[in-house]
């Protein structure tokens, strides 16, 4: 057997994984989405998705995902930029990555404690004379906790893009008369757009299907597609409807990935 043929054999474990846990579930989802609650063939689920209730939910999901991505970017880009300038790069990077190793649920529970009526945040607000306030179950806390969870996914690709940027390009821009801000606007930012795109994808797409943070931190105030899917599968047992929303969500994500490109091509030389 030739070497190439052997190499193909190495793909077998991954191939099995792909079929069992990626392709099969998607096929099942598609299949389920065409069944009503009694198991009959129907397209009613898709008609229902287009009703105002679900459209509003979809709008909400997109709005919050957009908000989370935007805030992550606004905090993440300066952070990444500062990271490339700092002396102890590896240490700071580690501190940034460290929370990613902690279980997601654990972090969310920690925030329940912090943001609770008798939590640290309210104690602080009280000493400042503005509290106590209702922090949990608000849009603010939902976005805040989500940004906290997602920010490393935004910072890392941008950090990498900034690190790859040859420093001589910045010197060149300055040399040609550009101020620090113009240099950023016309050279640094356009050349790190690949990282920004990658970071936005890494935040926006998972943010679209959030349900745990939504449920725990936002309570029932914020209902997104993620929570709707969970409700249909676990509470109302309307798998068909749940599957339909999931299919629509996946289609939306696919469209986003295609539209924003892979982010790598543009920056490569």
Partner 1 sequence: MNGEEIIRFERVTKEYDGMVVLDDVSFAMERGKFYTLLGPSGCGKTTILRLIAGFIEPTQGTIYFHGKPIHHVPPNKRQVNTVFQDYALFPHLDVFENVAFGLRIKKMKEADIRQKVSEALRFVNLEGYERRRIQEMSGGQRQRVAIARAIVNEPEVLLLDEPLSALDLKLRTEMQYELRELQRRLGITFIFVTHDQEEALAMSDYIFVLNKGKIQQFGTPKEIYDEPINRFVADFIGESNILSGRMIEDFLVEFTGKRFECVDRGFAPNEPVDVVIRPEDLELVAPGDGQIVIRVDSLLFRGVHYEICGYDENGNEWLVHSTKKAEVGETVGLRFEPEAIHVMRVEREDEGA
Compare residues 96 and 173 and give the one whose CB is closer to partner 1.
173
Output the smallest distance, CB 192 to partner 1, in A.
10
Compare residues 163 and 171 and give the one whose CB is closer to partner 1.
171
Spatial separation of the C-alpha atoms in residues 150 and 203, rounded to whole Å: 6
Binding mask 130-169 for partner 1 (x = CB under 8 A): ------------------------------------x-xx
Of 78, 68, 67, 144, which is closest to residue 112 (Cα–Cα)? Answer: 144
Spatial separation of the C-alpha atoms in residues 215 and 22, rounded to whole Å: 26
Of 40, 56, 29, 214, which is closest to residue 137 (Cα–Cα)? Answer: 214
Choose, by CB under 8 A, the member of 125, 178, 216, 250 that binds partner 1: 178
Is residue 41 helix, strand or coil? strand
Output the smallest distance, CB 85 to partner 1, in A.
15
Which of positions 186-225 make contact with partner 1 (CB under 8 A)? 186-187, 190-191
CA dist list (Å): 53 to 49, 60, 223: 8, 11, 11
- 177 scored as a contact of partner 1 (CB under 8 A): yes
Task: Report the interface residues with partner 1, using CB under 8 A.
Answer: 166, 168-169, 171-179, 182, 186-187, 190-191, 269
């Amino acid at each position: 057997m030739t070497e190439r043929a052997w190499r193909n054999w190495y793909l077998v474990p991954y191939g099995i994984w792909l079929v069992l846990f990626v392709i099969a579930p998607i096929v099942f989802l598609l299949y389920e989405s065409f069944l009503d609650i009694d198991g009959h063939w129907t397209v009613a689920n898709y008609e229902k998705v287009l009703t105002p209730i679900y459209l509003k939910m979809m709008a909400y999901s997109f709005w919050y995902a957009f908000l989370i991505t935007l805030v992550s970017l606004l905090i993440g880009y300066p952070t990444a930029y500062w990271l490339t300038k700092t002396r102890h790069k590896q240490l700071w990077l580690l501190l940034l990555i460290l929370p990613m190793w902690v279980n997601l649920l654990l972090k969310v529970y920690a925030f329940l404690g912090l943001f609770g009526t008798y939590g640290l945040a309210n104690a602080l607000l009280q000493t400042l004379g503005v509290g106590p306030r209702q922090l949990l179950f608000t849009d603010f806390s939902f976005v805040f906790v989500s940004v906290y969870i997602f920010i490393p996914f935004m910072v890392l690709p941008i950090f990498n893009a900034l690190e790859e940027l040859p420093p001589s390009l910045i010197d060149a821009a300055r040399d040609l008369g550009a101020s620090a801000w113009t240099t950023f606007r016309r050279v640094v930012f356009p050349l790190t757009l690949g990282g920004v795109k990658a970071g936005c994808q890494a935040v926006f797409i998972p943010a679209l299907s959030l349900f745990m943070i939504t449920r725990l931190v936002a309570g029932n105030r914020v209902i997104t597609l993620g929570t709707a899917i969970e409700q249909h599968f676990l509470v109302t047992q309307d798998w068909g409807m749940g599957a339909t929303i999931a299919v629509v969500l996946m289609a939306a994500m696919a469209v986003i990935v295609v539209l924003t490109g892979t982010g790598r091509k543009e920056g490569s030389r």
